[in-house]
Structure formats: structure tokens, C-alpha cells
């Protein structure tokens, strides 16, 4: 019977479980052949549903207290590591305390070991978090104080505890510049081995894309090498191609680098005739054409690139160029 009870309630949200329990209990019981004791089942399921609802996401503990422990405490007091035999990764573990006993005294923050430790002088050897980890902010300390003073309950609603500092506005997620490169690590390694060129992560964030580096061996990078990059083209956000053997033929391959943001073609054989090929690069923000045969005609073609903001044309045949190509459109 346990399996079908679980299945019946697995789709219910915690907050809604209590409200929906009454509506489904009798029909579920009958569907599974237990017509004689629906009210006994009602009592069992209702108790479970109410318990789930009580631990729901609308409680002060879940919304305000648990996130503090998750961010500042569980690295040393969690499932994998328990300093002082104390765990703070669940309400039950918190209330169980550590090797010195309980750490929370309901209704009395200043008598609670947990609160005492996080409000000590940071220079004190008993201060928590230890080991130079980031301390709790004043707002986080206030949240703990209010929660303990209100009874240190797991089920008290968020609205029931007044005076808590407002939550900081969540930062908007940073947009990915390219797909995560990790799934194609083997292809990247093979490309580097066969061409002698390098594809380097732009940062520690795997969706910040790759940089095509050729400075250590510019003569190895030619139009054929760029063609070999086709399976990895969407991962490249910067292409450092200065002093390479790239020609207008290679620009055809570069036009497929859909996430390319920066392109350096200094001292290459590209011409104005080939620059029009780059029009599909909707994300290209900068291009360096220093010491190439590019002229005004080529720069005019670049005005079709919506994101382009910087163009370097030192040592070219360009007579004038807008600092911001978009301004000249």
C-alpha cells in the first residue's frame, strides 16, 4: 500500500498537499480496493499531507534560515563533514545539536550556542564560520535572531515573523556566450593535436566560450585549419588570427562562427572583397584589421554588423572610419 500512497501524492506541491488531500483520499482508496476503511485512510493521509504542507516552502525556516546554513555553514557542518559532530543541513539535524549538546534554545537567541558563535568577535577562535570563511552578514544574523526568538520552529509561516530584513534582489543570470564546451572536449583535443593550434577556455565558466589562440604558431593557421573547426565553430567567441595565413577563403569559415565576439586579423591577407562574407556574425563586437589591404569599401560592408562597436584600421587604405560603426548606419 505504501507505494500507491506515495504515487498518489508525489505530484502534489507541499503547499497544496493539505488542501487537495480531502478531495482525492476516498477516490484513491476505492480505486485500490479498500472500500471498508476510507476514513481510516483519510486520517492517515491527511496527517501526512498536513505534515508535508507544514514543511512547505512558505515557512520562515525554509525561506530565510535554511538558505543561510546552506551558503555559510554546511561546508563544515553537512553530510560530508561535521565539525563538532554538528550538522546544519536539515532542521532535524540542527535541533539534534552537536557534541556539546543543543545549539538552539527556542525563544532565547542570546542563550543559543549557534547565535553566540556567529556574533562573537571574528578574532575569537570559537567564531563561526571558521577558517576565514565569509561571516554572516548583519541581515543574516538578524534573521537567525528573529527566528530563534519566535520559537525556532520549522513550521512557522514566513508571514508570522515580522521585522526580517528584505531579501536582496536576485542578480539576473549571466547569459551564456556559447554552449558548454565540456561535452566536446575530445574533439577539441583532436583539433589541437592535428593543427598545433590552441582552443583555450575564456574563463572558468564553461559557457563563456573558447578563444582560438595562434600566437605561438601563426603559420600553422590557414584557411584549411579554420575549415577543420566547423564542428566546434559555435564554441569560439574570440579568434586571435594575427600574422596567420588566413585569406578571404578563410573568412567563409569564420562566417559560421555564430557566437564570435572578437576577431583579430592583423597582418593577414584578407581584403575588402572578403569582409562582406562576415555579415552573418550578428554577435561580432570588435574586429582588428591593422596592416591589411582593407579599404573604405570593406569597412562600409562592416556597417551591416549589428553588434560591432570597435574597428581597428591602422596601416590600411581606409581613409575614414566611424569609431562606432553603428553610429554611421
Q: Is the pLDDT of residue 123 over 90?
A: no
Instruction: Measure the CA–CA gap between 128 and 79, rounded to whole angstroms.
Output: 18
Quick: pLDDT tens for 208-247.
999 999 988 899 999 999 999 999 999 999 999 999 999 9
196 Rama class: left (phi>0) / alpha (psi -120 to 50) / beta: left
Task: With cut-offs at 50, 70 and 90, classify the pLDDT of residue 322.
Answer: very low
Chain position carrying cell 595562434: 214
Range in 53-67, 79-93, 121-135 with the lowest mean pLDDT: 53-67
> How deeply is 31 buried, as exposed, middle or buried, from its count of CB atoms within 10 A (0-12, 13-18, 19+)?
exposed
Say what the pLDDT of residue 236 is. 98
| Domains, the chain | 2-54 (no CATH), 60-160 (no CATH), 182-328 (3.80.10.10)
Handedness of CA 8, 13, 15, 19 (dihedral sign): negative
Average pLDDT of the residues in 297-324: 85
Chain position carrying cell 593550434: 197
Contacts of 261 (CB under 8 A, 6+ apart): 177, 209, 237, 238, 283, 284, 285, 286, 307
Higher pLDDT, 14 or 172: 172
Contacts of 217 (CB under 8 A, 6+ apart): 196, 197
Chain position carrying cell 563586437: 285
Quick: pLDDT tens for 237-275.
999 999 999 999 999 999 999 999 999 999 999 999 999
Which 3 state secondary structure label does DSSP give 214? coil
Say what the pLDDT of residue 81 is. 84
The pTM of this model reads: 0.50
Pair type for strands 210-213 and 236-240: parallel
Cell triple for 94? 540542527
Q: Is the pLDDT of residue 51 over 90?
A: no
pLDDT-above-70 percentage for the chain: 78
Say what the pLDDT of residue 138 is. 94
Contact 195, 220 (CB under 8 A): yes
Say what the pLDDT of residue 291 is. 95
Higher pLDDT, 241 or 170: 241
CB atoms within 10 A of CB 151: 12
> How deeply is 152 buried, as exposed, middle or buried, from its count of CB atoms within 10 A (0-12, 13-18, 19+)?
buried
Which 3 state secondary structure label does DSSP give 124? coil
Burial 230-239 (b: 16+ CB within 10 A, else e): eebbbbbbbb
Closest CA to 89 of 78, 97, 81: 78
Q: Is the pLDDT of residue 107 over 70?
A: yes
> How deeply is 55 buried, as exposed, middle or buried, from its count of CB atoms within 10 A (0-12, 13-18, 19+)?
middle
Between the CA of residue 39 and those of 1, 3, 21, 31, what are the distances in Å?
Answer: 16, 19, 12, 15
Rg (CA), the chain: 31
Average pLDDT of the residues in 103-117: 95
Say what the pLDDT of residue 292 is. 96
Average pLDDT over all residues of the chain: 82
Average pLDDT of the residues in 160-164: 94
Amino acid at each position: 500500500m505504501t507505494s500507491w500512497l506515495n504515487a498518489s501524492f508525489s505530484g502534489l506541491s507541499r503547499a497544496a498537499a493539505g488542501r487537495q488531500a480531502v478531495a482525492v483520499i476516498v477516490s484513491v482508496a476505492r480505486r485500490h480496493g479498500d472500500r471498508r476503511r476510507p476514513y481510516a485512510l483519510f486520517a492517515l493521509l491527511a496527517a501526512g499531507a498536513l505534515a508535508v504542507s507544514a514543511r512547505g516552502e512558505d515557512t520562515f525556516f525554509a525561506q530565510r534560515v535554511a538558505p543561510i546554513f546552506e551558503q555559510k555553514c554546511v561546508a563544515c557542518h553537512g553530510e560530508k563533514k561535521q565539525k563538532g559532530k554538528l550538522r546544519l543541513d536539515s532542521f532535524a539535524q540542527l535541533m539534534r545539536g552537536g557534541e556539546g549538546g543543543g545549539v538552539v534554545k527556542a525563544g532565547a537567541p542570546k542563550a543559543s550556542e549557534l547565535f553566540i558563535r556567529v556574533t562573537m568577535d571574528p578574532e575569537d577562535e570559537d567564531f563561526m564560520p571558521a577558517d576565514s570563511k565569509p561571516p554572516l552578514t548583519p541581515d543574516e544574523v538578524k534573521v537567525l535572531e528573529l527566528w530563534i526568538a519566535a520559537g525556532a520552529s520549522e513550521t512557522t509561516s514566513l508571514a508570522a515573523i515580522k521585522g526580517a530584513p528584505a531579501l536582496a534582489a536576485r542578480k539576473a543570470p549571466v547569459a551564456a556566450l556559447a554552449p558548454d564546451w565540456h561535452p566536446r572536449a575530445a574533439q577539441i583535443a583532436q583539433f589541437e593535436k592535428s593543427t598545433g593550434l590552441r582552443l583555450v577556455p575564456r574563463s572558468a565558466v564553461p559557457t563563456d566560450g573558447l578563444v582560438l589562440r595562434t600566437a605561438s604558431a601563426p603559420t600553422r593557421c590557414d584557411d584549411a585549419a579554420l575549415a577543420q573547426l566547423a564542428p566546434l565553430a559555435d564554441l569560439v567567441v574570440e579568434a586571435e588570427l594575427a600574422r596567420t595565413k588566413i585569406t578571404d577563403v578563410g573568412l567563409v569559415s569564420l562566417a559560421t562562427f555564430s557566437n564570435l565576439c572578437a576577431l583579430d586579423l592583423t597582418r593577414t591577407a584578407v581584403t575588402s572583397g572578403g569582409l562582406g562574407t562576415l555579415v552573418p556574425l550578428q554577435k561580432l563586437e570588435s574586429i582588428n584589421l591593422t596592416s591589411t589591404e582593407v579599404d573604405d569599401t570593406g569597412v562600409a560592408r562592416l556597417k551591416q554588423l549589428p553588434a560591432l562597436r570597435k574597428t581597428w584600421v591602422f596601416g590600411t587604405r581606409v581613409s575614414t572610419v566611424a569609431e562606432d560603426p553603428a553610429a554611421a548606419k
